[in-house]
Structure formats: C-alpha cells, structure tokens
Amino acid sequence: MLYPLSVIKTRQMALEGSQRGLKGAVATARSVVAHDGIRGLYKGFGTVVCGMFPARMIYLSSLEASKAASGRVLHRFHLGDTAAVGAASFVGGAMASLSSQAVVVPIDVVAQRLMLLGGGPPPNAARDPNARAAAAAEAAAKQRTTGLRLARQIVATEGVGGLYRGFGASLAMFVPNSAIWWGSYGVWQQVLWQQLNALRGHSRHSEGDILRVQTVAGVLTGCTSAILTNPLDVVKTRLQTAGAAGAAVQHAPAAAAAAQPALAAAGAAAANAGNAGGCGATAAAAAAARPTWRGVAAQLAAQEGAAGFFRGVAPRMVSSSLWGTMMVTAYEWLKRLCIKDE
C-alpha cells in the first residue's frame, strides 16, 4: 500500500532538478504514471518484499530483547514511567536497526536504483546532454532490468562493496531514525494514556481505547521521526544512488568535471547497445569519483541551502505515519493475542 510513497520520495531526493514539497511529490507521481503506468510506482517492489522478511524478523527480535534488557538496567535509576519507557524504547530501536543493517543496506541500494529507472527523463535532461544520454540508455534497459540482474551488475562493476555503498550513511540514518521512532512512540503513548486517564478519572481501557491511542501515537511518531531524520535520509539516498541513471552524482567539482566525458561516453555506448549492461557502464564511470557523506552534504547545502535537506519530506511523513500506525497496531495486537496466561 505504501511502497509508491517510497518511490516518489526516492526520486525527489535523488534526481537533480526535481521539485520539492507536496507539489513536487504530486508532479513526480504523475510523471512516473504517465511514462510507466501504475507499475512504475512499484519499481523494486519484489526486491524489497523478498529481502525485508528476514530483515524484519531480525529487527523485531532485537527490538524486544533490547527493550527488555535496557528496561531492567533503567529500573535501577528510578525514572518516571514516561522517561523509562521512552529511554528503553530508544535503546531498543537503535539496537534493532543496528542488527538488521547487514541485510537492509544491499536491499536498499538495489531497490533505490531500480526506483530511478523509468518514470520519464530526469528533470534536468532538457538542459544537460549527458543526462539525455543517460536517460536514453536507461530507457533501453529498464524493461529487462530486475533486482537480481542489477545486483549482479553492481557486483561486477563495483565489487561486493558496491552493495554496501553508503553503509555508514545508512547506519547514521536508520539507527537514529529507529531509535527516535520507538522512543517517540513510547513517550507519545504514555502522554496520551495519562491525558485519557485524567479525562476519564480511571485507568480501565477497552480494546477500542487501545486501538485509538496506538493509532494517534503512530501518526504523531511518524511525523516526529520523519522531520528529525529527513536530512540524513536525503544524504544517504544520494550516496547510494550516485551513478544511477538520472541521479544527481554528488562529488567534488574537479572530480565531477573529470568524470563528465566518461559519463557521456558510457551513456552513448549504452544507448547503442540497448541493454541493461549500459547502466553498469554508466555506474562504473560515475564510481571514478566516489561520493562521500561530507561531499554530498556540503554540495547539497551549497546548491539548495537548508531546504535541500528536506527534499521528499512530505511523502516520507505520510509513509512513516501510515506505516507506523499499521505496523504497530498489528504488532501490538499479535503480542496481546499471544500472551501466556499467568
């Protein structure tokens, strides 16, 4: 249900010249649907679905174990209920994300590059001949490029390390995001329960009360985490998609100038070849000037200022709120269903 929002967010963050804000998100969605139909909004979906089952199992198992362990430690400090729940959830979320990154990062790299395939030419193609060449190569290859084929191309051109491009950036984004998400969720729940109990004058809760509190807490948590960690997500996305067709290749200006002839030649060769290997050649040329976390952030700040770090924040807030609400409601319901009798 929510995957199209990830595609829109990724294209807003990674494609040079794409519009920002809610209007930009709508324009991006229309462009993808106009060129590729509804299927274009599900680029990389199979890769994510296959990979996220083991990743999610690792994540949730680590979450519960870490929350329980940190809860026992924090109990010694006699914190208030809200602070204790928030701190335990914060630690649990951070450890859960940290333990699952070995599986998540390769999935993320492949899926995000697939998301940039299709959807029409990049916004800067009209004024950039290199972008037009890359778009032509990508258009010829997109129909035959699968997640497995793209993963093989990445390994062939960049080695196994190519599947872990931006691993440090991913840790820097997902670990705080997960910690903030679960920490905020714990705090918001405690605040909402306290307000509800004060309003009603008792602490007896029905299934309907639980569902309503979890839903509101999920929405508030999604907005909180999306706003606080969006700058990290923009930098991570640009790092992992640098060299993909139409992406904003972020690196030092001198290196960029040196890489342009190679990019143009690779794009033209790929257009003539008309196969998926061309995208690998383009990526190999872009890899000559390997982007860095600091370089991407500095260039983004110089070109767009602080606003650039909030590219894609609108679809990300919606996705995070809806995903969090659905996930945590189902998850908490299953936990209540499976609880053992005393």
Q: Are 321 and 7 in contact (CB under 8 A)?
A: no
Q: CA geometry: angle at 134 spanning 8 and 21, to 5°?
A: 25
Check if the beta carbon of residue 278 is closer than 8 Å to that of residue 288: no
In a domain, 194, yes or no: yes
Q: What is the pLDDT of residue 55?
A: 87
Residues 148 and 229 in one domain: no
| Residues 209 and 177 placed together within one structural domain of the fold | no
Please tell me whether the overall predicted TM-score, pTM, comes out greater than 0.75 for this model: no
Q: What is the DSSP letter of 15?
A: B
176 Cβ contact list (under 8 Å, min separation 6): 94, 228, 229, 232
Structure letter (DSSP) for residue 247: B
The verdict on 193 and 49 lying in the same domain is yes
Please report whether residue 15 resides in a domain.
no
Domain final position from 204, 233, 249: 204
Confirm if 138 and 283 have CB atoms less than 8 A apart: no
Q: Which domain holds residue 331?
A: 205-257+289-341
> Comparing C-alpha atoms, which of 114, 100, 103, 149 is closest to residue 241?
114
Residue identified by tokens 């290859």 is: 141
Helix axes 293-304, 167-200, angle to 10 degrees: 70
20 belongs to a structural domain: no
CA distance 69 to 66: 5
Tell whether 279 is covered by a domain.
no
Q: Are residues 58 and 171 in the same domain?
A: yes
- The pair of three-digit structure tokens given for residue 55, joined into one six-digit string: 């990743």
pLDDT value, residue 65: 92
**Residues 133, 245: one domain?**
no
Residue 38 lies in a domain: no
Task: Identify the DSSP state of 252.
Answer: -
86 with 191, same domain: the answer is: yes
244 and 334 together in one domain = yes
State the burial class of residue 34 (Cβ atoms within 10 Å of its Cβ: 0-12, 13-18, 19+).
exposed
Q: Same structural domain for residues 128 and 90?
A: yes
In this structure, the answer to whether residues 58 and 197 fall within a common structural domain is yes
In a domain, 275, yes or no: no
Coil/strand/helix, residue 1: coil
All residues at 6 or more sequence positions from 337 whose CB lies less than 8 Å from its CB, including other chains = none
What is the per-residue pLDDT for 292?
85
Other beta carbons within 10 angstroms of residue 107's beta carbon come to 21
Q: Return the closest-CA partner of residue 99 out of 69, 67, 55.
A: 55
Q: Which of 160, 187, 204 is the last residue of a domain?
A: 204
Structure tokens given for 337: 């269903």
Q: Tell me the backbone φ, ψ of residue 204, rounded to 5 degrees.
A: -90, 130
Residue 276 lies in a domain: no
Inter-residue contact 198 to 300 (CB < 8 Å): no
209/317 same-domain check: yes
Enumerate residues 6+ apart whose C-beta is below 8 A from 152.
none
pLDDT means over runs of 10, the chain (342 residues): 91 86 90 90 89 86 90 85 86 90 90 83 56 52 73 90 88 88 90 89 82 89 91 91 66 41 41 43 50 88 92 90 86 84 72
Structural domain total, the chain: 2
Q: At what angle do helices 207-241 and 313-338 cross, to 10 degrees?
A: 130
**Is residue 267 in a domain?**
no
Rounded CA separation 278/269 (Å): 7
Give me Rg for the CA atoms of the chain: 22
One domain for residues 51 and 75? yes
Same domain as 69, residue 192? yes
